[in-house]
């Protein structure tokens, strides 16, 4: 396989991880007739997003303006690609193959995940719709402590998320991790996939599981009210932006009362989290219930639950507010999912960079005005 590094300016060891992975993406075009190499197209697209751009027109302009700089490490034998070229390529790329390549890159640069909390969550991209279509959903696996996006799958609507999750889980290295998920993914098939991956799970439980939710809720509410000895307990107290919150965690391994316990692969405990919030003198109380393959250890249980709650600010907020994903109008072919994968790769690169002590938004600005910093982000 031919490398696209120009060794006169950037050493192979600097960009080998990123460029080599991009070279592994199968090119959907008839390669004998193309004017622009696929790794060049994908690298410029990624650089554009790292500088705050998003559209195919942005990619064309970035390539034209930064052509001299890009030629220090890309071939660009026919100059910068046009917006039409980016459009055709992103529509035609196989999103699963592209996603697999990016996942391999993530695994090559991250530390071993053993013990880390991995949150499964779906995010709708609402503007990328044709009239009458349901919102398109991207299901992501997010390592909550390292802040890295491990993989993703696109589904057409919420009902198909359940079938997409097992495919995503099988594509990841999850041994030793604790996988968390909202109630939509609290499914026996998903629990089985997680256990077969040599991982553990903490799955939120709601009414979508029929009588299971009612059973667990009734048992735990009664046990908590009686302060029964089989329960393990911890609590955390937090104050932020005028809000006082006490979170109380109970967990038990006593499951002989649970009629469906054998159907849940690896089930070892059930738990409940009570969030008691006081805002401007008004108090609210909410309880959430969970099935878990973890032993009764409320420190681990609390860490998993808190980690999952962080996916909204740690990933979704960054994608929507900083990268403008919810405003993306890409809708044809595979463009939506491939652009989403590229944004998530950009998030990973920016989170890995420790040379700039600014926010993700601040790092985008720095990359846009400082080519040396952008190169560091690409090569770290």
The DSSP line for 52-72 is T--SHHHHHHHHHHTHHHHTT
Q: Return d(Cα 301, Cα 306) in angstroms, integer.
A: 9
Q: What is the pLDDT of residues 260-270, one digit of tens each?
A: 999 999 999 99
Residue 357, CB half-sphere, CA atoms under 13 Å: how many? 0
Task: Please list the pLDDT of the chain residue by residue as tens digits (380 residues).
Answer: 333 444 334 343 434 467 778 888 999 998 778 999 999 999 999 999 999 998 999 999 999 999 999 999 899 999 999 999 999 999 999 988 898 888 887 777 665 556 789 999 888 776 545 555 666 788 889 888 888 888 888 775 555 777 889 988 998 889 999 999 999 899 999 999 999 999 999 999 998 888 999 999 999 999 999 999 999 999 999 887 678 899 999 999 999 999 999 999 999 999 999 999 998 889 999 999 999 999 999 999 999 999 998 787 778 778 888 887 777 766 677 898 899 889 988 998 998 888 999 999 999 999 999 999 998 898 77
- Which segments within the chain are labelled E, that is strand? 117-125, 136-143, 148-155, 178-181, 200-205, 232-240, 243-252, 269-279, 282-292
Check if the beta carbon of residue 292 is closer than 8 Å to that of residue 266. no
Q: What is the pTM of this model?
A: 0.83
Check if the beta carbon of residue 4 is closer than 8 Å to that of residue 39. yes
């Amino acid at each position: 396989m031919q490398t696209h590094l120009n060794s006169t300016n950037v050493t192979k060891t600097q960009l080998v991880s990123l460029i080599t992975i991009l070279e592994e993406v199968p090119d959907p075009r008839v390669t004998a007739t193309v004017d622009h190499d696929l790794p060049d197209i994908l690298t410029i697209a990624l650089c554009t997003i790292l500088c705050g751009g998003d559209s195919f027109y942005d990619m064309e302009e970035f390539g034209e303006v930064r052509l001299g700089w890009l030629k220090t490490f890309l071939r660009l034998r026919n100059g910068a690609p046009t917006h039409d070229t980016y459009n055709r390529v992103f529509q035609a790329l196989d999103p699963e193959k592209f996603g697999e390549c990016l996942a391999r890159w993530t695994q090559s640069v991250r530390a071993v995940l053993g013990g880390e909390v991995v949150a499964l969550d779906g995010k709708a991209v609402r503007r990328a719709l044709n009239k009458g279509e349901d919102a398109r959903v991207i299901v992501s696996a997010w390592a909550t402590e390292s802040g890295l996006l491990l993989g993703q799958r696109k589904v057409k609507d919420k009902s198909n998320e359940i079938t997409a999750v097992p495919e995503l889980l099988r594509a990841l290295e999850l041994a030793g991790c604790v996988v968390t998920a909202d109630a939509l993914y609290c499914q026996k098939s998903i629990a089985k996939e997680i256990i077969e991956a040599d991982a553990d799970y903490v799955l939120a439980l709601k009414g979508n599981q029929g009588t299971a939710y009612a059973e667990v809720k009734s048992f735990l509410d009664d046990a908590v009210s009686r302060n029964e000895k089989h329960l393990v307990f911890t609590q955390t107290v937090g104050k932020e932006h005028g809000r006082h919150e006490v979170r109380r965690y109970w967990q038990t391994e006593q499951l002989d009362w649970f009629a469906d316990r054998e159907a849940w692969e690896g089930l070892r405990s059930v738990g409940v989290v009570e969030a008691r919030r006081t805002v401007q003198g008004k108090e609210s109380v909410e309880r959430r219930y969970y099935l878990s393959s973890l032993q009764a250890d409320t420190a681990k249980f609390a860490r998993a639950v808190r980690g999952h709650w962080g996916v909204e600010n740690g990933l979704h907020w960054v994608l929507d507010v900083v990268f403008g994903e919810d405003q993306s109008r890409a809708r044809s072919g595979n463009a939506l999912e491939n652009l989403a994968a590229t944004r998530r790769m950009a998030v990973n690169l920016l989170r890995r960079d420790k040379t700039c002590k600014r926010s993700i938004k601040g790092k985008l600005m720095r990359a846009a005005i400082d080519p040396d910093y952008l190169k560091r982000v690409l090569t770290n």
